[in-house]
Amino acid sequence: MIEKHRKTPIFPFTAIVGQEEMKLALQLNVIDPKIGGVMIMGDRGTGKSTTIRAIADLLPEIEVIKDDPFNSQPLKTDKKETEFIKIPMIDLPLGATEDRVCGTIDIEKALTMGIKAFEPGLLAKANRGILYVDEVNLLDDHLVDILLDSAASGWNTVEREGISIRHPAQFVLVGSGNPEEGELRPQLLDRFGMHAEIRTVKDPSLRVKIVEERTLFDINPEAWIEKYKDEQENLKKTIINAQTLLNTINLSYEDRIKIAQVCSELNVDGLRGDIVINRAAKAYTAFQGKTTVSTSDIEKVVVLCLRHRLRKDPLESIDSGYKVRKVFEEVFLS
């Protein structure tokens, strides 16, 4: 008899070699989803999809109302049956239509039976989880706008023929792409909380290690998952502890002024950069089990939060990350 719903083995997050910037950005976003998601840009075959699936598999299960299409969190007053499920990890395919993403209303049932029959879309399935868009730079701008609006507001509204349905859509938006295949429009890129850049590993010994780890996992995934069980459990506990600590973290007024000064000197449009650095620095502090943000904590996240918000001069060859680091050092360390 074929086993029903057989679980596909997921490569352990703690077994992933290198790509520290991408791993940190993902961890901080699951600690504080209000950071606003992460855009991962880099070469093909660098483990983007593997890492994103691994972080989702690592996270603790969530309690939901049984058979609820939106993975709704039960209230204390609820008498409904509940169950625990893995954090949803939803892939959005490039060819997806707006109906597939947002959901659709059955107009016929609404008109003939007076019932608001709603067919949930990917945004409903991703509620309280992670929504992953590979090659987001090739996705229709209209759909990217919808995703970013839902991620920012936490709600999805579907309107058709005068009928409107609104449901929660709180998720961590993760986009990835290869810059050689086209850049995301600056006004859309700016809406992502963080921007991680990844490159193909050049060190031969590290390349060999990555290939060996993957080969051994493919030969015997169960044994490999067991090998990293303790490390996975420790990281899971660290993330849960950080989520608990988050609201107690102290970021001094002096440091908040300096963060604002960095953004101002870099001519960052709007205040989104300031807000994201504040949130990310607190999340990183909580991740370390501390309660007070230090200069080194801010330094760890500032490039991830700002590199994609700088106005680009096509004639300039200086890396945006270098510019952010230089201004940070002038403001914080001089």
CATH 1.10.8.80 domain position(s) in the chain: 247-333
List, by residue range, all CATH 3.40.50.300 domains of the chain.
Answer: 13-198
Sequence-ordered list of residues with C-beta below 8 angstroms from that of 203, at least 6 positions apart, any chain: none
Q: Which of 317, 235, 262 is nearest to 54 (CA)?
A: 235
Decide: 251 and 293 in contact? Cβ < 8 Å: yes
Torsion sign across C-alpha atoms 229, 234, 239, 241 = positive
CA distance 31 to 116: 36
Q: Are 14 and 55 in contact (CB under 8 A)?
A: no
**Average pLDDT in the chain:** 86
DSSP code for 292: B
Amino acid identity of residue 330, one-letter, is E
Residue 11's nearest CA partner among 203, 210, 236 is: 210
Coil, helix or strand for 283?
helix
Give the tokens for residue 67. Answer: 């058979």
CB 63 within 8 A of CB 84: yes
What pTM did the predictor assign? 0.88
Tens-place pLDDT, residues 171-207: 999 998 887 777 777 777 888 899 998 888 788 888 8
- The CATH code belonging to domain 247-333 is 1.10.8.80
The answer to whether the CB of 255 falls within 8 A of the CB of 295 is yes
User: Quick one: 13-198 is in which CATH superfamily?
Assistant: P-loop containing nucleotide triphosphate hydrolases (3.40.50.300)
With residue 167 as reference, give the H or E element that holds it. Answer: strand 163-168
Provide the residue-wise pLDDT of the chain in tens; the chain has 334 residues. 333 344 688 888 998 887 889 999 999 999 999 998 999 988 777 778 888 889 988 888 888 888 888 888 888 777 788 888 888 889 998 888 888 999 888 777 666 766 667 888 999 999 999 999 988 888 888 888 888 888 888 899 888 777 788 899 999 999 988 877 777 777 778 888 999 988 887 888 888 888 888 888 888 889 888 999 999 999 999 999 999 999 999 999 999 999 999 999 999 988 999 999 999 999 999 999 999 999 999 999 999 999 988 877 654 545 678 899 999 999 998 7
As annotated, the active-site residues are 272
User: How many angstroms separate the Cα of 275 from the Cα of each of 109, 167, 245, 281, 305?
Assistant: 44, 26, 19, 10, 9
Nearest to 25 by CA among 12, 38, 16: 38
